[in-house]
Chains A and B, each alone.
Chain A
Amino acid sequence: MLGQSFPFDMAHMLAGGMVTVSFMLLFQDRLIALIWFLALHALALALALAWQAHRQAADDLYVAAALALVVKAILIPMGLRWLVRHLQIERTVEAVVGVGMAMLFGIGLVALSVMVMLPAATHSPLMWEDLSFALAVVMLGLLIMITRRNAMAQIIGLLSVDNGVTLAVVGIRGMPLVIDLGVACLLVAAMVVFAIYFKHIHQRFDSVDVHVLDRFRGEES
């Protein structure tokens, strides 16, 4: 059943799985489910990193995989869940564009990232595949941030962008571990800031819809 290209197929499947989960994040409109999908996204990232570490026999990638697993797949989703429960906002996320439209945009973005990374194909097809999937995940994360009005969903989009950036690391050799460690610490710190920020918005406006802020500043009637 498993052919010659198994190592490549495995990497392809994990990266492709991340792109698919990004689409699920785009599609899902309930906060708790969104957080579950974010955890799944990070889990796929951790597996992709671990697989790459195994293939390249690179120990620092193992550390990166463990970091992704513990921080991104367990701690951050747990924190977000606590926040959602705490603020009592387990309700529907309203998207600005319809889901169908967002999906079409998403497909377009995936096609775009494959095309943009085409020059890398002459260099190494493996690199092309890695970088185009990573770029697709980043683009989809940005799309999630654009289409959602709920601050929590926007943060989830931002975190999926970060996962995409880390996925790009897989394709580039010699990324220092220090950077990855730094990013992980930064994320945890950012989570604390987000939590305080949400709490303030929620206390003041009784909602985490960011359009309330626009209205408050008088930018929108």
Chain B
Amino acid sequence: MAMIQSLLAQGFQMMLVLAVAPLVIGIIRKVKARLSRRIGPSIFQPYRDLIRLARKDTVVAHNASWLFLVAPYIVFAAIWVAAALVPTYALGLIFSWSADIIVIVGLLALARFFLALAGLDVGTAFGGIGTSREMMISSLAEPAMLMIVFTLSLLAQSTQLSSIAHYMMTADVGLRVSCGLALLGLVMVTIAENGRVPVDNPATHLELTMVHEAMILEYSGRHLALIELAAALKLTLYLSMLTCVFLPWGIALNGAKLPVLGLGVLIYLIKITVASAVLAAFEVTVAKMRVFRVVDFLNFALMLGLLATLLLFVSRSI
């Protein structure tokens, strides 16, 4: 019985992130539109877009190999599994014990690898450019991400996200500059990995500087719908990770009763809405960087991670 309950809770979490993901994109677009004095589409527009894409025929380039056809499914599956491992409304769900934060980074890298292969597969110029840029950005973002993971796991003595979040809720965290640095670094990695504004512009479809859009330019129909959904899921995953590590309050503890879980869902929805709105407000205030400057941006994130670890080393010995 307990097994079924925990499986249900896990299943609910997987459905929850899947249901919330397009909404996150919708909220970001709406807030950005309102801040630039436009009405903007409804926050449910991404759902409609996905349904429309799923109904449409898929057009595949005639020199595309089997890889091009399976890549969307692999990308979506890898990201969905990763999203199932991040605590959203409750800690210690059954899957979260099977893999830690490094596995999540690995799953995201797997998804990126297949998307890059698919970008190269058809052999168009845009696909190649997008892929090479994505690889450059990710090769810089991943060390930064891992440095931040090391900081957090040194602090919490665990690489499990559930344990880290639980540690963050207890009193002995105190006030640490390392946490602030890790937060800043993780926000920067989130922006870079999801192709948000200073690094890449998700709203443009034909621009020489596009990265993510360039890789998926050849996709259409249900394949495109899957990739779009996967991208939304990835953003939701990162926002959930940020909120569960740095704002864990209100998350349901291990083995909580049903009303507490309900409250946890409500608080999670509020947190994710606020996080999306803040991200949108940030995006409105900055201009897109040149591709060459992304290197400096991500080096800074890496440096923040290194510095956080170093400062932790000083404070821990006390």
> Is A128 an interface position by the 8 A CB rule?
yes
- The answer to whether A114 touches B314, judged by C-beta atoms less than 8 angstroms apart, is yes
Contact B310 A114, beta carbon cutoff 8 Å: yes
Bound CA–CA A164/B51 (angstroms): 59
Q: Which residue of B lies closest to A117 (CB)?
A: B314
A19 touches B299 (CB 8 A): no
A141 to B171, CA, bound (A): 35
Q: Given the known inter-chain contacts A100-B296, A129-B314, please indicate yes or no for A2 contacting B177, CB distance below 8 A.
A: no
B181 within 8 A of A: yes
Distance from B270 Cβ to chain A, minimum over Cβ atoms (Å): 20
A2 touches B171 (CB 8 A): yes
Given contacts A100-B299, A129-B314, A132-B314, whether A13 and B177 have CB atoms under 8 Å apart is yes
B313 x A9 contact (CB < 8 A): no
**Distance (whole angstroms) from the CB of A105 to the closest CB of chain B:** 11
Q: Which of A16, A27, A133 has the most CB of B within 10 A?
A: A16
Which A residues are CB-close (under 8 A) to B300? 27, 103
Q: A110, B176: Cβ atoms under 8 Å?
A: no
B173 touches A3 (CB 8 A): yes
Residues of chain B lying within 8 A (CB to CB) of residue A16: 177-178, 181, 311, 315
Nearest CB in chain A to that of B318: its residue? A125
Is B317 engaged at the interface, CB distance under 8 Å to the other chain? Answer: yes
Q: How many residues of A are counted as interface, with CB atoms below 8 angstroms from the partner's CB atoms?
A: 31
Minimal beta-carbon separation of A221 from chain B (angstroms): 30
The 5 closest A-B pairs by CB, nearest first: A16-B177, A9-B175, A9-B174, A125-B318, A3-B174
User: Is there an interface contact between B171 and A128, defined as CB atoms closer than 8 Å?
Assistant: no
A157 at the interface (CB under 8 A from B): no
A30: CB under 8 A from chain B?
no
- The reply to whether the CB of B172 lies closer than 8 angstroms to some CB of chain A is yes
Q: Which residue of B lies closest to A111 (CB)?
A: B310
Measured CB to CB, the residues of A under 8 A from B are 1-3, 5-6, 8-10, 12-13, 16-17, 19-20, 23, 27, 99-100, 103, 106-107, 110-111, 114, 121, 125-126, 128-129, 132-133
| Min CB–CB distance B159 → chain A (angstroms) | 23
A103–B178 Cα gap in the complex (Å)?
A: 17
B298 to chain A, nearest CB (A): 10
Select which of A1, A5, A13, A107 is within 8 A of B310 by beta carbon: A107
Report the minimal beta-carbon distance from A162 to chain B, rounded to whole angstroms.
Answer: 22
Q: Which residues of A contact B180 (CB under 8 A)?
A: 13, 17
A107 contacts B306, C-beta separation under 8 Å: yes
Contacts of A9 in B (CB 8 A): 174-176, 315
- Can you list 14 A-B pairs, Cβ within 8 angstroms, ordered by A? A6-B174, A9-B315, A12-B315, A13-B176, A17-B180, A20-B304, A20-B307, A23-B303, A103-B300, A103-B303, A114-B314, A125-B318, A129-B314, A129-B315
B295 at the interface (CB under 8 A from A): yes
Distance from B72 Cβ to chain A, minimum over Cβ atoms (Å) = 35
Q: Is the CB of A110 within 8 A of B307?
A: yes
Alpha-carbon distance between A107 and B143 when the two chains are bound, in angstroms: 15
* Chain B, Cβ-Cβ closest to A17: B177
Docked-complex contact A23 and B171, CB < 8 angstroms: no
> Among the interface residues B171, B302, B303, B306, which one has the most CB atoms of the partner chain A within 10 A?
B303
Query: What separation, in Å, do the CA atoms of A106 and B173 have in the docked complex?
Result: 27
CB closest residue in chain A, given B168: A1
- A107 cross-chain contacts in B, Cβ below 8 A: 303, 306-307, 310
Q: Are B314 and A128 in contact (CB under 8 A)?
A: yes
A103 CB to closest chain B CB (Å) equals 5
Given contacts A128-B314, A129-B318, contact A20 B177 (CB under 8 A): yes
